[in-house]
């Protein structure tokens, strides 16, 4: 197995350097992907030598996976902070929507980097260790979301906040799928254009409308039964 999950041997006095190197790597890999990102460029932007960078990371792939793990931790912290609160389910849903708008806009590098690992996890050109490590990181994020969403949906059922005839795990999957599409719509060109076609050219200038309409959609899913709609 690749050494990607091991912490690089930074000394405590190198903490600031570590932060700069990882932030620079995250920005470059998010913008260009694993194949196109250049180690020489990253080292120059981080203000370190290529030799020093390779002292910390055995290969470009190891460096990439460490950057991805940092991004994954950030995404995990963002999701956990929202879904573990005691707010009502629609309040948490609103916070998640707003978080997606924020992290997919100004901080889209984390989402783009996550998209990159889902893309490379099955690429045959890469080593088996790299593909497996990328797949493990992708699965870790999905696992965190799956458990967090199904848990808070089950709690909302127990508290009587939403309909009790749904399967929390299935609803969690559908809930996450909607949020994932929204996330892609803010970060990927194809999905961005798709959202414009459906919602209008000016949709990205009206985040409040997106929040309001999506909450209506979730409210209907969580509260109406089929018999209510007949």
Is pTM beyond 0.85? Reply is: no
- Token digits of residue 81: 């902070």
Look at 198 and 33; give whichever has higher pLDDT.
198
pLDDT value at 1 more than 60: no
Q: Roughly what angle, to the nearest 10 degrees, separates helices 39-46 and 60-83?
A: 60
- In this structure, what are the phi and psi dihedrals at residue 58, rounded to the nearest 5 degrees? -65, -35
Q: HSE of 103 in the Cβ direction (CA atoms, 13 Å)? A: 24
Q: Average of pLDDT values for 189-200?
A: 94
Which stretch of 54-68, 126-140, 145-159, 179-193 has the lowest confidence by average pLDDT? Answer: 126-140
pLDDT digits (tens, 9 = 90+) for 89-99: 899 899 989 98
C-alpha 139 chain-centroid distance: 11
Total Cβ atoms within 10 A of residue 210: 20
What is the number of H-type helices and E-type strands within the chain?
A: 10, 0
Q: Taking residues 25-34, what's their average pLDDT? A: 90
pLDDT computed for residue 6 by the predictor:
44
Per-residue burial over 103-138, b if 16 or more Cβ lie within 10 Å, else e, is bbeebbbbbbbbbbbeebbeeeebeebbbebbebbb
At residue 114 the predicted structure's pLDDT band, cuts being 50, 70 and 90, is confident
Q: Which CATH class is domain 67-224?
A: mainly alpha
């Amino acid at each position: 197995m690749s050494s990607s999950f091991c912490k690089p041997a930074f000394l405590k006095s190198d903490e600031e350097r570590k932060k700069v190197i990882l932030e620079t790597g995250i920005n470059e890999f998010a913008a260009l992907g694993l194949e196109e990102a250049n180690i020489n460029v990253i080292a120059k932007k981080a203000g370190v030598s290529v030799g020093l960078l390779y002292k910390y990371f055995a290969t470009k792939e190891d460096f990439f996976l460490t950057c991805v793990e940092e991004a994954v931790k950030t995404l995990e912290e963002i999701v956990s902070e929202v879904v573990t609160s005691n707010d009502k389910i629609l309040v948490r849903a609103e916070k998640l929507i707003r978080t997606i708008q924020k992290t997919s806009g100004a901080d889209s590098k984390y989402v783009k980097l996550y998209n990159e690992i889902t893309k490379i996890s099955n690429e045959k050109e890469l080593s088996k260790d790299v593909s497996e490590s990328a797949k493990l990181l992708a699965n870790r994020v999905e696992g965190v979301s799956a458990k967090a969403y199904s848990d808070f949906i089950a709690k909302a059922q127990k508290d009587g906040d939403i309909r009790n005839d749904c399967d929390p795990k299935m609803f969690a999957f559908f809930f996450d799928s909607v949020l994932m599409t929204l996330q892609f719509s803010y970060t990927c060109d194809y999905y961005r254009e798709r959202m414009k076609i459906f919602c209008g050219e000016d949709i990205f200038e009206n985040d409040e409308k997106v929040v309001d309409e999506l909450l209506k959609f979730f409210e209907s899913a969580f509260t109406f039964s089929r018999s209510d709609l007949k």
